[in-house]
Amino acid sequence: MTAVHPRPEEPAPMTTTLPDAPARQIDPPEDRYATELAFLAAYDDGPRPPAWRLTPRAVVTFVIGSGGQPLKLPDGAGVPDGVPRRMTIASKFVGDRALVERCVVTLAGERGLLLVGEPGTAKSMLSELLSAAVCGTSGLVVQGTAGTTEDQLKYGWNYALLLAQGPSRQALVPSPVLTAMSRGAIARVEEVTRCLPEVQDSLVSLLSERRMAVPELAGAADALAHAAPGFNLIATANLRDKGVSEMSAALKRRFNFETVGPIGDIDAEIALVRGQARASVARAGAPFQVDDAVLEALVTAFRDLREGRSAEGWEVERPSTVMSTAEAVSVAGALALAAAYFPGDRDVLGLLPGHLLGVVRKDDPADAARLRGYWDGPVRRRAEQGSATWRTLWDLRTVLEG
């Protein structure tokens, strides 16, 4: 399965921001791409599932982009102020369009969607984009942990009002899931398999019966909360996490599973790493000074170690650490910041081995030896074949001895 990942090489999207809004490090997709969403709502007037802001086809276009082609609104279509009549929709993910289409069809059919895959494969970003396009918000989210309680998936209480008035609708504090049910929106549950089984199972009736009982309000008209049209659930789960709770068969049956894998094309991955790292450095107000040769070596090393085999077919011992594209972006950003804040101190390429070492030994100290084995294998062979970049990296092997 080809992964879907954010594509950074598109022009900056038009956004709608309140003039007095405080600065934010990262805007949610419904704010960052507000103009695109408004444009697509007017562009495609085809059939929409109940309560959806966009048609399923427009949701896919929002996620995948318009292929660099400008779209034109039909004559007579009304749009809010500030929305152009022609617009190129930025591609936000690199990967398989069919995967995104299956995700959209799952949500349109009122089935729960579970995105699974290795850490760092942009599962959460995909769920955010889908939620923003379908219901206009990606913020109705529960972060699953071993400490997540059933209340966080259902409801809690304002104890001051509870003591003063007893159980009442006013004293009830809805969870993001219950809020999504009442609004007819998409709720997101991150790392659902990290929740305890009894907490996970509270989702079974929600996904099958589409209602939530509030027994404390027994006898009241609102003791049973029904899901409004449009309600659905997107969950994510990592394949490599340790200590997770196995999902029950009943809960699995209520989800459609979609696997998000690593990026298949190296050029696409290099473009992603370059764009994401450049954006992070720009937020810091620093110039991006990492050349393409360094980025290619960085991404190649990550891919070799991730796949256990080099592009040339040489065997590589895989470290236990997940060598994800997200980690590659982090390293590229760190190299760029080092070059910006400490100009002239050293060659950027010379920093790469130390950063790689920091990545691979996060989980197991023995992974440092695996990285040295990679240096003694593919890095040395490429250096012997005459590559100046890999020759420099081979000469830096002593950095890995620390």
Task: Say which CATH number the domain at 214 has.
Answer: 3.40.50.300
User: Is there a single domain that holds both residue 118 and residue 220?
Assistant: yes
Nearest to 175 by CA among 203, 151, 158, 210: 151
5 falls within a domain: no
Q: Domain check: are 225 and 270 in the same one?
A: no
- The answer on 310 and 189 residing in a single domain is no
What does 10-44 look like in DSSP terms, one character per residue? SPPPP----TTPPP-SS--HHHHTHHHHHHHHHH-
Two tokens, residue 95: 């990967």
- 273 and 230 in one domain? no
198 within 8 A of 153, measured Cβ to Cβ:
no
Domain boundary among 259, 288, 307: 259
What was the pLDDT predicted at 218?
A: 78
Q: Burial level of 150, CB count in 10 A (0-12/13-18/19+)?
A: middle
- Would you tell me how many other CB atoms lie within 10 Å of the CB of residue 211? 12
In 3-state terms, what secondary structure has residue 193?
A: helix
Q: Looking at residue 20, what is its pLDDT?
A: 61
What is the count of structural domains for the chain?
2
Residue 12 lies in a domain: no
State whether the Cα torsion 22-23-27-30 is positive or negative. positive
Q: How many CB atoms lie within 10 A of CB 5?
A: 27
Q: Verify that 140 and 274 share a domain, yes or no.
A: no
Full residue range of the structural domain in which residue 220 is found: 29-259
pLDDT of residue 359: 93
Cβ within 8 Å of residue 60, ≥6 positions away: 97, 100, 101, 104
247 & 133 share domain: yes
Q: 162 and 298 share a domain?
A: no
Q: Would you state the pLDDT for residue 196?
A: 92
Q: Are 93 and 100 in contact (CB under 8 A)?
A: yes
How far apart CA 257 and CA 72 sit, in angstroms, is 35
Q: Rounded distance, CA 289 to CA 298, Å?
A: 15
User: According to the model, what pLDDT value does residue 191 have?
Assistant: 94
Let me know: does 383 contact 390? Beta carbons within 8 Å: yes
| 390/294 same-domain check | yes
Q: What is the pLDDT of residue 226?
A: 92
Regarding whether 202 and 281 lie in a shared domain, the answer is no
Q: What type of residue is 319?
A: P
Low-confidence ranges of the chain (pLDDT < 50): 1-4, 6-17
Report the C-alpha gap between 10 and 157 in whole angstroms: 45
Pairing of strands 86-88, 70-72: antiparallel
Q: What is the pLDDT of residue 212?
A: 92
Q: Which residue has the tokens 């007017």?
A: 42
Q: Does residue 93 belong to any structural domain of this protein?
A: yes
